[in-house]
Amino acid sequence: MGSLAWQLLMVMVLVLGAPGDGRVLGGGRRLRDYDFDFSHLGEALYGSHDTAAIGELVRAWSRSHNGSSVNPEELGTYAEGDIHQPLIERNALKFTSSKWKKGIVPYELSEEFSIGDLAKLFSAFEQFHQKTCIRFVPRTKERDYVVIEGRSSGCWSAVGRMGGRQVLNLQRNGCLQMEGTIVHELMHALGFLHEHTRYDRDRYVNIYFRNVRPNLVSNFGRESESQTTTLGMPYDYGSVMHYSRTAFSKNGKATVEPKIKYSGQLGQRVGFSVKDVQKINKLYCHR
């Protein structure tokens, strides 16, 4: 290859990004300064919420969750129930984020957690460590990091690496009872959205808006194909990122149901599905 052709090739790589860098969304659009676009969530991502009321709902759930058909992260009034980015500074709202460099997520832990709580959290970390290249590591001096708190405001997280300090909340009495809930919120922090909001979801599930609480209809919006990607993976009813059949229901009836016969539990919170692991490895680990 001639020197001029080589220089042109290098310019293209610098401008467009190296082939196979994992930064191409549905529709072939290539991202340049970010990996995740969640502008479809709107200002609900940053809105103010009655955190005390959410905390009480999660506490009540924790006392009787064995008979509940919903998950604790479905009790919040945050965007889609559990996606939230507190406004630390009154600057422009941000609706994009990035992957964690080399799959390494520095974290700090607040002092609310007991030894038992920490054992559950570290067990969830270990699911990632054993099955993916993701590594959760105690923060030293890293600029971008996650603070994991246990305040009484429900289960919630930002999406992806926002830049600087970001919070992931796991209310002690409720959000730590099922390991899958912890995994769910950690996957949000890695950049994953809910399975039932995929742009192609209408091929796979029925959404019964007549059963959804009127003020929470937006929780069943669809992502845009031009802004998000399925990573080429099929729809996953068993994903830890899927919500339950009666999520946000006003009458106890189904709000989301598979279009095919599915005998598994929609909204399971045991841990990863096989496809969850494959998605993480595709996005971060080049596997």
Catalytic sites, residue numbers: 185
Buried b (16+ CB within 10 A) or exposed e, 77-105: bbbbbbbbbeeeeeeeeebbbbbbeebeb
Q: Is 65 annotated as a binding residue?
A: no
The answer to whether 49 is a known ligand-binding residue is: no
Q: Is 196 annotated as a binding residue?
A: no
Residue 65 DSSP SS3 = helix
- DSSP E strand boundaries for 17-82: 36-37
Return the C-alpha torsion angle 254, 256, 257, 263, nearest 10: -90
Q: How many CB atoms lie within 10 A of CB 283?
A: 22
For residue 283, which of 16, 24, 84, 13 has the smallest C-alpha distance? 24
Q: 96-97 and 36-37: which strand pairing?
A: antiparallel
Which residues contribute to the annotated binding site for Zn(2+)?
184, 188, 194
